Amino acid sequence: MKKIFVLFLTTILPIVGFSQSKFAKFDFLIGNWQGVETGVSGDGIGYRTYNYELGENYIVEKNQSTFPKTDKKPKGEVHKDIGIFSYNSNKNELIYRSFNIENFTNIFVLNESESTDAKYVFITREIENNPGNWKARVIIEKISDTEFKEFFDIAMDGENFQPFLQNHWYKVK
């Protein structure tokens, strides 16, 4: 019985330990954020939350961005999206799925070769309801535990990324 218990501990504990640390570099995101945004819709403000969910197996992001009235959009624009970070142990990949009010679902994969300890580069593997051969990229640049910048770029031709939205986020209580 003792051998079975030791075998159990040596097989299960590394898995449990890994499960708890897979998002360690993203712990700083957990909480509430306010930000200023600049992009194709103009200058706006944003509110965002990040929380661990389902036994800390996922990080869930909820976002709302508001942009002022323009000639093209006399009512202004309110953008909402929900994001889910998960870990695919079969492929050893960190995945970020972004579900947008415009009915796009972006499935991003963390590009380890372009990422650093303070910069995380996610590139789409797939865009559901894609109007063409688009690709998207999200870059998160950690400035501190209470501040980060985010860049959202689109390659409408599938190759050449162009800035679409830049955000500067500040953690709030």
What CA–CA distances, in Å, run from 70 to 40, 64, 73, 81, 173?
12, 19, 5, 22, 32
Residue pLDDT, tens place only, 71-113: 888 898 999 999 999 999 999 999 999 999 999 999 999 999 9
Given a cut of 50, whether residue 16 has pLDDT beyond it is: no
Confidence of residue 19 (pLDDT cuts 50, 70, 90): very low
More confident residue, 12 or 29: 29
How is 58-118 classified by DSSP, letter by letter?
A: EEEEEEEEEE---SS-TT-EEEEEEEEEEEETTTTEEEEEEEETTS-EEEEEE-TTT--SS
Q: How far apart are the C-alpha atoms of 169 and 103, rounded to whole Å?
A: 24
Question: What DSSP state is assigned to residue 131?
Answer: S
* Inter-residue contact 80 to 67 (CB < 8 Å): no
Kindly state the tokens that stand for 45.
Answer: 């403000």
The pLDDT of residue 22? 87
Q: How far apart are the C-alpha atoms of 19 and 28, rounded to whole Å?
A: 17
SS3 57: coil
Q: How far apart are the C-alpha atoms of 49 and 34, rounded to whole Å?
A: 9
Q: How many other C-beta atoms lie within 10 A of the C-beta of residue 100?
A: 17
Residue pLDDT, tens place only, 29-75: 999 999 999 998 889 999 999 999 999 999 999 999 999 988 888 89
